[in-house]
Amino acid sequence: MTVKAYGAYAGDKPLEPIDITRRAPGAHDVQIDIAYCGVCHSDLHQVRAEWAGTQFPCVPGHEIVGRVSAVGAHVSGFKPGDLVGIGCIVDSCKHCDDCAEGLENYCDEMVGTYNGPTPDASGHTLGGYSQQIVAHECYVLRIRHDESQLAAVAPLLCAGITTYSPLRHWNAGPGKKVGVVGIGGLGHMGVKLAHAMGAHVVAFTTSESKRDGTMALVGAPASPHPSPEVFNFILKRRSLAGSAIGGIPETQEMLDFCAEHNIVADIELIRAAGINDAYERMLRGDVKYRFVIDNASLAA
């Protein structure tokens, strides 16, 4: 079926209204009417071709929340009317060691929610700046927040899991200190999650951190990240690590944790037609702390 979306036809072109085609739900597919979609900084990098490999037309968006509108014949975990979400992943190989451990985010064949390979007519996945999406049930997540919070839940699907995963991996909790550098879309979620986990959230510099401290990089800049001063690491047995979003089980765990602790993002709701201005404001840091598109505005 044809649905309305916002996308770009080239890296030097603005996003504009376009029509895209979604497949009919297969046996294991879930069709979702998208209510809201968060705006991630990686959307800007992708749509402007600042990262290699962008395919056009590019329809960004991987912080997706809405209601199930149809399910395939073999879907048992979801039904029409359910509140659900789609994050950064819509497919993976399903049989490698990473997939078996629920770490689909590290699968060599992970397919992103947009700009990933797909047998659909477009040839590449198209994201959540659209009225609807169809995805395999394995990558659909259940939302247990109150519906009134739905717009503010959307950023949890990327900003939330990107900060939750390293906090869980390095056992943030009582007796631990967590420093967050940059209180933006991701940073403000890191502060909320670390606090809810019982950790002490502090501002700190590398020279002040504990001897056995770990620095986790979760941002993905348009240009290479400068290497930190090596002696700050080798003389104190510190470590520098990376973390990329999270697998499906951990993302569901994060959503349930956030529902239990009443955690949502701080957002500014925008109409789809305001997305290009929102990108410019995001570059200036002029948002506290996440833009979210009201997808109902796509109908206009």
Does residue 191 sit in the same domain as residue 281?
no
Total domain count, the chain: 2
Backbone angles phi, psi at 129, to 5 degrees: -80, 60
Q: How confident is the model at residue 5 (pLDDT cuts 50, 70, 90)?
A: very high
* CATH code (residue 221): 3.40.50.720
The answer to whether residue 252 is domain-embedded is no
Tens of pLDDT along 207-260? 455 545 777 877 766 667 666 677 777 777 777 778 889 999 999 999 999 999
Judge whether 110 and 42 are in contact, CB under 8 Å.
no
* Average predicted confidence (pLDDT) for the chain: 92
Does residue 204 sit in the same domain as residue 78?
no
Tens of pLDDT along 155-206? 999 999 999 999 999 999 999 989 888 888 999 999 999 999 999 988 654 4
Tens of pLDDT along 13-70? 999 999 999 999 999 999 999 999 999 999 999 999 998 889 999 999 999 999 999 9
User: In residues, how long is the chain?
Assistant: 300
Peptide bond into 57 cis (omega under 30): yes
β-pairing, 141-142 vs 83-86, is: antiparallel
Q: What is the pTM of this model?
A: 0.92
Judge whether 38 and 158 are in contact, CB under 8 Å.
yes
Does residue 135 sit in the same domain as residue 152?
yes
Q: Could you tell me the residue range of the domain that residue 68 belongs to?
A: 2-158+264-299
* CATH code (residue 99): 3.90.180.10
Once rounded to an integer, what is the mean pLDDT over residues 102-111?
A: 96
User: What is the dihedral sign for C-alpha 86, 92, 76, 123?
Assistant: positive
